[in-house]
Chain A
Amino acid sequence: MSYLKPALKHPGLPKNALGFTRRDYEGSISTLCAGCGHDSISAAIIQAVWELGIEPHRVAKVSGIGCSSKTPDYFLSSSHGFNSVHGRMPSVLTGANLANRDLIYLGVSGDGDSASIGIGQFAHLMRRGVNMSYIVENNGVYGLTKGQFSATSDKGSKAKKGAVNNDEAIDLVAMALQLGATYVGRSFSGDKDQLVPLIKGALAHQGVALIDCISPCVAFNNHEGSTKSYDYVREHNESVNKLDVILGRAPITAQYAPGDVTEVTQHDGSVLRLRKLHDDYDPTDRVAAMNYLARHKAMGEIVTGLLFVDPEPEDMHAGLGTVATPLNQLGDDILVPGSAALEKLNAALR
C-alpha cells in the first residue's frame, strides 16, 4: 500500500491568496475506514486552512491516540505534526504553544482521548486559555479497539452488539463553556457547510476554541439505537446559526432581514457573520448559551453551530506576561545572565 500521493497537479486548480492550491494542504492517504466521518473533518480542515490563506508550515498539528489522532497525518503535510500520548494532546500542545506563540495550533482529539483518559488535561487546557483550535472528532465509541463505549456515549444508546450504555454522557461543549473556553462550537462531520466556517473562525480566534464535531463511526457506531449515527444526528440536529468568516472588512452582500445577522469582530480583525436560525440565541452570552444547551439537550436535540464566542479573549501568554518574541528564538545573550551576575550572586551567598 502506498502512503504517498502523486505530486502531479492540474494546472487549472483554484489558488488561494498565497497561490497555493488545496492540494498543497493535503496529507498522506487516510488509513481510516471508507466513509469514516473523520475523513470529512480532515477535508474540512484542509478547506478551511486553504480558504484562510494560511501558510501550511505555520500550523502545528498535535494529537493524542486513537482513530481521530491518526488524522493529522492526512492533512497539511507541510506542517509539523505530533502524534503524542493517549489523552495528553492538551499538555503537549500547551508546551508547544509556550515555546513558540507565533504558530497556529491545531489539536485533534477524539471522545476517548478527550472525555475519558484525557478529561483532566482537556479541562485544564480550557481553564488556561491556550491559543489553539481544539477539534474533538466525537463518535461515541472506541474504534481502534473495536467498539467499546466512550464517555460521550449517550445514556441508553446501544452498542453494535446490543449492549446498552448505563452511564451519563460527558458533554464537552458544556464543560468547555463552564471552564472558560472563549470560542465554542458543535458541528457534524456530515455538514461541511457548517463545519468549514466553524473551523475557520476557530483558527482565527486568538484564544482557546473548541469544536465538538460529531463524526459517525461507520464500523462500530452507525447502527439503529446509536445516538451518534449519520441518521440519528441528521434527524436531531438543531443548528442555532449559520456562520460566515470574513477576513478583513468585506461588505455584506447578501440581503438579510434586520436583526437576522449578528456580526462579531474577533481580535485579529476577522469578522464572524452569524445568520440566526433560532431567534432567541445570542452567541456572545456564555450563561445564556449554557442554559440553552441544557434545555435543548433535555428535549433530545443536538444543538450545533457557533454556540459561544468572546471576541476579546485573553490567552495563556497574556496571563503569564511572556515576551512577544517566541521563547524558542531567544539566544544566549538574552537567556544566560553571565559570569559577572554569577559573581555577585556568589558574594550574596557568603
Chain B
Amino acid sequence: MRQPLSAINDFVVKFANVNGSGSASANGLFARSILRMGIPIAARNIFPSNIQGLPTWYEVRISGEGHMGRRGGVDLMVAMNPQTWDRDVAEIDAGGYLFYDSTKPMPKSKFRDDINVIGVPLTELCNAAYSGARERQLFKNIIYLGALSTLLSIDPAVIEQLLTEQYKGKEKLAKSNQDAFHLGRDWAATNLPPIGLRLEKADKVGNRIYIEGNAAAGLGAVYGGATVCAWYPITPSTSLAEGFEKYAKRFRTNKDGTKNYAIVQAEDELASIGIVIGAGWNGARAFTATSGPGISLMQEFVGLSYFAEVPAVIFDVQRAGPSTGMPTRTQQSDVLSAAYASHGDTKHLVLFPEDPRECFEFGASAFDIADRFQSTVFVLLDLDIGMNDWLCEPFEWDDSKRMDRGKVMTAEMLESGREFGRYLDVDGDGVPFRTYPGTHPNKGAFFTRGTSRDRFAKYSESGAVYVDNMERLLRKFETAKQYVPHPVEKKAARTTPYGVIYYGSSSAAMQEALAALQADGIHLDAMRIRAFPFHDDITRFIEAHDTVFIVEQNRDAQLRTLVMNECNIDPAKLVPVLHFDGTPITARFIRDAIGRKATSVDVVPLRKAAP
C-alpha cells in the first residue's frame, strides 16, 4: 500500500456517471460549493454525444494556487458508472482514493491495492429512504454529495445555501434535497475515517466570475450591438446562440414586448451564413455560431464576404472533426479552414479568445472589426472554453465606447458631394467606403458582386482591374494587423534561446507549465497569439529565439503552418507541441513534451517531467 495522498486545496476529483442520471446538478453543486469557500476550481465535462445512457465524466480540479488548466491525473474518483469501472479505477493516481457505491459487493480483483477504497452503500441508503425510481436515482447523487462533503470538509452551510438558491420558490424540493444531503453527510461522519484530501476556506477566488465561454460570447454579441443571429444547431456551439437569445431577451425587449434583435434558426449552415451576409450588407450587425462541419459548409459564402466586402461574424466553437467525429470532444483544428476559408485567394480575420472573459471581450469587438474591415471575422472558441464553466476575471465595459461602424457614407456625405466609389481606396489603407441600401434617392447605390467590377462597382472582367482590387484587399489585410488584438508576451526570468507560442484554451495549462518548466530549469519566453493577421511582434519574437515551440490542440500543427506561411519562418525553428486526443491539454503534457526537447540550464541535465 502506497502512502495515501494528502493535500489541502490542491487535488483532482473526477466523477464517473451515466448520462441522463441527473448527476450534473449534484456535481455542479459540488463545484460551486468549493468556489463559495474561496477556493479556485477548474471544472470540465467530458461527455458523450448522447442524451441518456452513455458514460459521462465531470472533472474538478481544486487549485488553491489558481491553476485553471487541466492538471492530468485523478486523486479521488467518484465511480458511479459500472460500465467504465475498470478504466476509472485504473486512472486513479497511486495513493489516491476510490469512492464507490458499496451496496453490491465487488470482487477483490476489481480493485487496486495501491489506492484507498471508500465504500458507501448509496443504493441501500436510497432505497431505505425513498420509494420512487426517479427519486432514488436523483437523490443518490445528492447523497454522495453529502458523503463527499464530510470527507473533504466542505462547509455544509454553503451547500444548504446553494440548494436554497437553486430551488427558490420550490421550498419543498429544497427541503427534500437538503434531507438527502444530510443523509449522506451523517452516514459518512458515522462510518468513514477521515481521508488525506481536505478543503480549507480560503480567499483566493476574489471577485472572479464563473461562466462558460459560449454564454460569455453570446453576451459579448449583445454588447457588440449584434441584432441578427442566424444559426443551425450543432454541438458544441448551440449554447452560444442560446446565450445570445437569453441575454438579448433580457436586455433588448421593449416594454410593448417587441424585440430589438432577431434570431432565426435556419435550415442549415449555408442559410445561416447567407442570412448573416444579407444582414451585414444591409447595415445590421449579424453573426452565426457553429462548429467545424458548419465552417466547411459556409466556405463559399465566406469567400463572397471577403470579395464583396460584407461584414460578418462567425463564432466557431471547435470540436474534434469530422461530422461523424467526436462532437463532444475539444480541439483547435479549424485554424487553417477559418484563416484560409473559401476558394480563390482569400484570408480572413481570426480571433483566439483564451477564456470566457475574452469570449465576451472579443465577442463584442469582433463586430467593430468586421465593420471596420468589411469582412468576415472568425472568433475561434473550442469546446473546452465554450461548454465548460471557467473561473475568470469579471466582465468589464467602458460606457464611453461606441460601436465602430467603419467607413459608411451617409446621405449627408453623399449630398455634400463626396465622391463615392464602392471599392475606391480613398485613404490608402485598402478600406473603401460603403453605403447601406436605401441611403440616398440618387447617389451611392451600387451593385454588389464578387470581383468582376471596377473601383466604382461597374462591371468589368479586365485583368488589370482584378489585380488592382486584389492588391487593395491585401493592403486592407495589412492594415488590420494593427487593429486586431495584439499578441501578449511574457518574458522568462532569464535570457533564453527558447520561446513558446500558444493560443486559445491552451493558455491556462500553458501558464502552469511555464512555472513548472522554470522550476525544472527550463526557461521560455512566451507569446500568446490573439489574432490573425499576425502582428509584426510575432515575427520579431520568433527571430529573437533559436527554437520556438508552438503548443496546439490539433494533429497537423495548424497555427505553426500559418505562422510559417505568413511570417516566412524556417520550419526547423518551429517545434510543434501537439495534443489532439479530444481532451483538454494539460500542464503535465506540455511540461513533459517541452521538457524532453529543451535543455535545462541547471547543472543536473534534463529532468524528466512527471509522467
Mark each residue of chain A from 77 to 102: 1 if its CB lies under 8 Å from any CB of chain B, else 0: 11111111100101111111111101
Count the A-B residue pairs with Cβ separation under 8 angstroms: how many?
Answer: 230
Find chain A residues with CB under 8 A from B403 CB.
331-332, 335-336
Find chain A residues with CB under 8 A from B283 CB.
99-100, 328
Task: Select the stretch in A223-231, A290-298, A316-324 that faces chain B.
Answer: A316-324
Q: Does B324 contact A (CB under 8 A)?
A: no
Mark each residue of chain A from 230 to 261: 1 if its CB lies under 8 Å from any CB of chain B, else 0: 00000000000000000000000000000000
Number of interface residues of A (CB under 8 A): 64
Find chain A residues with CB under 8 A from B438 CB.
57-58, 60, 80, 100, 102-103
Q: Does A145 contact B (CB under 8 A)?
A: no
Q: Which residue of A lies closest to B360 (CB)?
A: A342
A320–B254 touching, CB < 8 Å: no
Find chain A residues with CB under 8 A from B209 CB.
346, 349-350
A99–B227 touching, CB < 8 Å: yes
**Residue of B260, B267, B277 touching A335 (CB-CB under 8 A):** B260
Q: With A and B bound together, what is the CA distance between A90 and B277 in angstroms?
A: 12
B228–A98 touching, CB < 8 Å: yes
Assuming A121-B274, A124-B271, A335-B252, is B280 touching A95 (CB within 8 A)? yes
Q: Which of A312-350 contact B (CB under 8 A)?
A: 316-317, 320-324, 327-328, 330-332, 334-339, 341-342, 345-346, 349-350
A78–B441 touching, CB < 8 Å: yes
Q: Does B262 contact A (CB under 8 A)?
A: yes
Mark each residue of chain A from 101 to 145: 1 if its CB lies under 8 Å from any CB of chain B, else 0: 011000000000000000011011000100000000000000000
CB distance from B343 to the nearest CB of A (A): 11
Find chain A residues with CB under 8 A from B301 CB.
85, 88
Find chain A residues with CB under 8 A from B266 CB.
91, 124
Assuming A95-B281, A320-B263, A335-B260, is B436 touching A328 (CB within 8 A)? yes
Q: Does B151 contact A (CB under 8 A)?
A: no
Chain B positions near chain A (C-beta within 8 angstroms): 35, 205, 207-211, 219, 222-223, 225, 227-228, 230, 251-252, 254, 257-264, 266-268, 270-284, 286, 300-301, 304, 308, 394-399, 402-403, 435-442, 445-450, 458-459
Q: List 25 A-B contacts (CB under 8 A).
A: A57-B442, A60-B438, A73-B447, A83-B449, A84-B274, A85-B300, A85-B301, A90-B274, A92-B275, A94-B264, A95-B277, A95-B278, A95-B286, A96-B279, A100-B283, A100-B438, A120-B267, A123-B267, A124-B266, A323-B260, A327-B279, A332-B403, A336-B225, A339-B396, A349-B209
16 A-B pairs besides A94-B271, A339-B399, A342-B397 with CB distance below 8 A are: A57-B440, A92-B274, A94-B278, A95-B274, A98-B262, A98-B264, A98-B286, A99-B228, A320-B264, A328-B227, A328-B283, A335-B252, A338-B399, A342-B396, A349-B211, A350-B35
The 10 closest A-B pairs by CB, nearest first: A95-B278, A91-B274, A99-B284, A80-B437, A328-B283, A99-B282, A95-B275, A95-B279, A92-B278, A349-B209
Chain A positions near chain B (C-beta within 8 angstroms): 3-4, 28, 31, 55-58, 60, 62, 72-73, 77-85, 88, 90-100, 102-103, 120-121, 123-124, 128, 316-317, 320-324, 327-328, 330-332, 334-339, 341-342, 345-346, 349-350
